[in-house]
Chains A and B, each alone.
Chain A
Amino acid sequence: MVTISNLEFSYGSHRVFQNLDLTFDEGKIYGLLGMNGAGKSTLLYLMSGLLFAKDGTVDFNGHNMSRRSPNALADLFIVPEEFDLPAMTFERYIKLNAPFYPNFSRETLDNCLNGFGMTADMNLARLSMGQKKKAFVCFALATNTSLLLMDEPTNGLDIPSKSQFRKVVAECMTDNRTIIISTHQVRDVENLIDHLTIVGSGKMLLDMPVAQICDHLTFGDFKLGQQPDGAIYSQPSALGNAVVCSRTAGDDETPLDIELLFNAVVANPDSVKQAFAAK
């Protein structure tokens, strides 16, 4: 689906990526995580042809994305963190934009809008930022593009809308579609993503399916003073300490705690690598 090879990119003298190799396969929802300034948004912009790599290539289904070929653009959609919708009815917006996407489905759009309690006859100029985001996400899902990139899609959404977001994304997911969600709000996407990609310091810190992570690591809370064997990272929590441990034979599988894993990877990347290599 998307193959990034030997990517090098910088803003002036500030280098963001160096020799980055990465692949995004179809049929998966990726969670793209990283510290502020790590290059998450930049990576999405490079994948959509909005930025050009200094060296290396970004290939999407055989298209070099720096050429912004219309056929490639018709098969991807990006939901940026901040966007601007024109002052018109959503119905008119659909009429002007949907014909660019050959797989656009009006039925999917109406279903998604229904889920959020919205209709297509609304005037975009009168919507709040959160409502605009919901409408835009619905349109993005309805385009049925093979690649859907979302940058902080749950920012500005109210609490019921966040769970609805997970529901509509899961419903619109297909085997030949790839969704990449860049976010800091990991709780909002915790049960949604099935592959985790963490970037930092210009390189890939972790790139692994959730199932494989849970196969190698366990996550849990322990009372103060109780430090289990095989702990590779701990941080204070309401119950005492939240701990990431290497999973050994006989250990039960625990649900993935993305926030804890992220902190472990950023604070102690070598220990996490060793834990994955050990099993």
Chain B
Amino acid sequence: MNNWFNIKRFWLVLRHEFGDAWVEIAIFVGILLVFSIGPSAFFRGGHDAAGFGASLITGTAIVLYYWVLASRLFANIQKTERRIGYLTLPASNAEKFYARLLLYWLLPTAIFFFPYPNSGMHTDIYVAHIILSLLIVEASLAVLFGTIFRRFGFLALILVEAAIVNGISAYFATHPRAFSNFDFSFVAWVMEYAGPDLENLGKLTFRVTAVPTVLNIGLARIIFSRKRLRRPVVNTEI
């Protein structure tokens, strides 16, 4: 039997891990459903003044939970007792990693973005593509941080990103010249690069999304393959 990846074993791991994941996926679907109905509907479309604020709040809630879910990829190895059972489960590191990735990231991504293209959420197609790209790349970062920090992955991600954003802000605040010279609009760059052809825009979005996403997931996969027990909490008196 293939030691690296075996479909039958992958299915067994998937079935095994679904017992852990289904509650969180169900909560995600529930949030999506609740926030898709009524005046504050995230996917309602249109930009009237009354709906925009509510739609922004619900949208933020959904996106945050989507990222938190991705960062909970290895919450099951937070406790030593559970970590022993999971790491000695007879499956390869790849099968365990991709089973959890499928349940905590790919499945929620599919559920989340299935209604997105027809939502009319962003009338500007360029902005829509940029946001889509950012959401997915950020989720892949959440997966990476979840692999490193497990249950507190999302918290660590927020702290790191806050530090980076504050660092950049502080730099521009203390270097007014640099700020005045900074004349870059990401949307304008996308519009110029992709041109009016939507196929080009699609290719650009795919590339901009795929490269960092694959890098983040690949790094997470390597880190996961080195997971072991930490210093035991018992029998260490010497």
Residue positions of A touching B, CB distance < 8 A: 11-12, 14, 35-38, 40-42, 45, 48-52, 68-71, 73-74, 76-78, 80-84, 86, 88, 92, 96-97, 99-101
Please state if A82 and B88 are interface contacts (CB–CB under 8 Å): no
The reply to whether B3 and A11 contact each other, CB–CB distance below 8 Å, is: no
In the bound complex, what is the Cα–Cα distance between A92 and B3 (angstroms)?
27
Chain B interface residues toward A at CB < 8 A: 1, 3, 6, 9, 12, 15-16, 19-20, 79-82, 84-85, 87-93, 95, 228-229, 231-232, 234-238
Nearest-neighbor residue (CB-CB) of B95 within chain A: A70
What would 11 more interface pairs be, CB under 8 Å, given A50-B88, A68-B88, A70-B92? A38-B238, A45-B84, A51-B228, A68-B87, A70-B1, A70-B3, A70-B95, A71-B1, A82-B80, A82-B234, A100-B89
The residue in chain A whose Cβ has the minimal distance to the Cβ of B233 is A82
Number of A-B contacts (CB under 8 A): 91
- Asked if residues A100 and B81 are in contact (CB atoms below 8 Å), the reply is no
Complex Cα spacing A77 to B87, Å: 11
CA distance A200 to B85 in the complex (A): 27
CB < 8 Å neighbour of B236 from A11, A82, A88: A11
* Max count, chain B CB within 10 A of own CB: residue among A37, A41, A70, A84: A70
A97 in contact with B16 (CB, 8 Å): yes
Given contacts A45-B229, A69-B3, A73-B90, contact A36 B235 (CB under 8 A): yes
Contacts of B87 in A (CB 8 A): 49-50, 68
Contact A86 B19 (CB under 8 A): yes
With A51-B229, A52-B228, A69-B3 in contact, is A80–B91 under 8 Å at CB?
A: no
- What is the CA–CA distance of A70 and B94 in the complex, to the nearest angstrom? 11
Q: Max chain B CB contacts within 10 Å: which of A14, A45, A68?
A: A68
Q: Which of B88, B231, B234 contacts A11 (CB 8 A)?
A: B231
Query: A residues within 8 A CB of B91?
Result: 70, 73, 100
**Bound CA–CA A97/B20 (angstroms):** 13
Question: Complex formed: what's the CA distance from A17 to B80 in Å?
Answer: 22
A81 to B85 Cα, complex, angstroms: 12
**A49: B residues at CB distance < 8 A:** 87-88
Q: Does B238 contact A37, Cβ atoms closer than 8 Å?
A: yes
A37 touches B84 (CB 8 A): no
Distance of B171 from chain A, by nearest CB (Å) = 37
Rounded to whole Å, the gap between the CB of B237 and the closest CB of chain A is 5
* Given A11-B236, A36-B238, A70-B9: A84 and B85 interface contact (C-beta under 8 Å): yes
